[in-house]
Structure 1
């Protein structure tokens, strides 16, 4: 039996995977830099560059802090690069910013229809993000997928941070599945390495985020333009 045929659950990253990264997060990144710089435009540009975003073009360096870090890690990076705010204070401000950003995020496809089709085929579904859990739940509610999702984990949910295996193992505990029955889907190497560290059956990379085919291929069993290609990859459960 192929690895694809053994898959019973799919664990998705959020930003850059379910949501188009450029459309959803470039304006948010500029705002987080403004907050961290307390309105100093030159410092804001410096902070963006230090954390992985070109302030002119908006290009995000694959696997940089802004591409893959959680809120606390980003706050630490901003302070290390010159923000005068306290790390804890800045983390709280950024968590609030990210939660509010859910209202303006752009999905890569009709997520309710996509998740509904996967659920109808029998797959257990989860979301594991470096964002905070509140933001993930608001995103799920906004796009009508809450009823299809069996598991949600953010950096603050108690399962550890990517690329540690904890979020995957939490999904297994919530669904009764084994790691080899899970497909991990993400747009950067933190996602894929988390899957590899947990020994998931598949790691699937998508190109709707900050990674490139070149940066992701070594750690991915498959690299797709977007998540919709997963439907053709995985057989119906009753046929597996």
Structure 2
């Protein structure tokens, strides 16, 4: 079945990984540790969550780098020895709402989107960012004309890799089938979303948080999203 839609993750796929997300992650872990972790367990908590305080960075392949909010909550609960899910959700939402994005398009991305539109694809965004953050991206990059549908992640909404995250698109395009959709993303959660949803194609890129060995379940791995254009155009032309 021919592909009709390409869904792009945003941070680390359409744009260079937004370092403001790392600042949010570190601040959330700092606040969690201060509130729930005893002094003798502080080092263990930072190591478990993947935050290097000396370098002030989140380490690749760790819960804070590529875990969903539900996975982060599970880690927080285990470290705290109690249910801190409500605190985590509220804190995460507050920090995201007050985040100042750092937006820089992946080199060649605008030309790639243009080529895909000319090939006849519908293009969407599937992001863990909020509607506000996604609108800031579209405005800053002047790319609104390329995108036919945007799925952002608001409070209490389904998140990747839960297949229900795609429900808004299926409601928007009632006759669309999962096999007609491709996902392009930089994290294991992007690829797992494609698998869980039975999508027609998954493409991993190495411009974000995911390491190559974590993305091996993708159908294809490219250095960056623009490098996948020829493949996608060929797929569109398949009979």
2:29 is matched with 33
- CA RMSD, aligned part only? 3.5
2:205 is matched with 206
TM-score (norm 1): 0.77
1:193 is matched with 192
1:14 is paired with a residue whose SS is coil
Residues 60 and 67 in structure 1, CA contact (< 8 A), matched pair in contact too: no
Deviation at 1:197, TM superposition (A): 1.6
Aligned-partner Cα distance in 1 for 2:71–2:199 = 25
After superposition, the Cα gap between the structure-2 partners of 1:66 and 1:83, relative to the gap in structure 1 and judged at 3 Å, is farther
After superposition, the Cα gap between the structure-2 partners of 1:138 and 1:83, relative to the gap in structure 1 and judged at 3 Å, is farther
After superposition, the Cα gap between the structure-2 partners of 1:239 and 1:191, relative to the gap in structure 1 and judged at 3 Å, is closer
After superposition, the Cα gap between the structure-2 partners of 1:230 and 1:101, relative to the gap in structure 1 and judged at 3 Å, is farther
1:162 is matched with 160
After superposition, the Cα gap between the structure-2 partners of 1:166 and 1:84, relative to the gap in structure 1 and judged at 3 Å, is closer
Residues 161 and 167 in structure 1, CA contact (< 8 A), matched pair in contact too: yes
Residue correspondence of structure 1 range 126-137 to structure 2 within 5 A = 126-137=124-135
Residue correspondence of structure 1 range 1-240 to structure 2 within 5 A = 6-21=2-17, 23-37=19-33, 47-57=45-55, 58=57, 60-62=59-61, 64-70=63-69, 73-74=71-72, 77-78=75-76, 80-82=78-80, 87-101=85-99, 103-109=101-107, 111-156=109-154, 160-175=158-173, 176-217=175-216, 219-235=217-233, 239-240=237-238
2:47 is paired with a residue whose SS is helix
For structure 1, which runs of at least 5 residues remain unmatched after alignment?
none
Residues 103 and 142 in structure 1, CA contact (< 8 A), matched pair in contact too: no
For structure 2, which runs of at least 5 residues remain unmatched after alignment?
none
Task: Give the number of equivalent residue pairs.
Answer: 233
How big is each residue's C-alpha offset from its partner over 1:115-161, in whole Å with a ceiling of 9 and x where there is no partner? 34422332111122233333233323332223322222233377622
Larger radius of gyration: 2
Residues 13 and 208 in structure 2, CA contact (< 8 A), matched pair in contact too: yes
TM-score (norm 2): 0.77
How big is each residue's C-alpha offset from its partner over 1:48-74, in whole Å with a ceiling of 9 and x where there is no partner? 43323333453534262431313x653
Residues 129 and 155 in structure 1, CA contact (< 8 A), matched pair in contact too: yes
